[in-house]
């Protein structure tokens, strides 16, 4: 029984360590992904700004 318990503890430890590593990697990838998204959103906002203004002017007429 002690052997099974030790094996289970080791398994749980490995899972925790693996989850931590995966979490760290996921965080790094997510930060890169987020910065790309913010960059793309900024680009689209820059390009759509004048168009929106033009469209509103046309709508008022």
* Per-residue pLDDT reduced to its tens digit, 17-58: 999 999 899 888 898 999 998 888 888 766 555 555 555 566
55 compared with 9, residue with greater pLDDT: 9
pLDDT at 1: 64
What is the structure's pLDDT at 7?
85
Cα 8 from Cα 3, distance rounded (Å): 9
Using CB atoms within 10 Å of the CB of residue 28, give its burial: 0 to 12 exposed, 13 to 18 middle, 19+ buried. exposed
Whether the model clears a pTM of 0.75, i.e. scores above it, the answer is: no
Position 3 scores a pLDDT of 77
pLDDT of residue 43: 80
Domain boundaries, the chain: 15-55
CA atoms within 13 A on the CB side of 56: 6
Angle (CA) 53 59 61, round 5°: 115
């Amino acid at each position: 029984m002690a052997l099974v318990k030790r094996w289970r503890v080791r398994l749980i430890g490995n899972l925790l360590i693996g989850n931590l590593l995966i979490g760290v990697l996921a965080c790094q990838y997510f930060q890169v992904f987020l910065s790309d998204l913010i960059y793309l959103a900024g680009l689209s906002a820059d390009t759509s700004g004048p168009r929106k203004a033009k469209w509103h002017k046309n709508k008022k007429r």
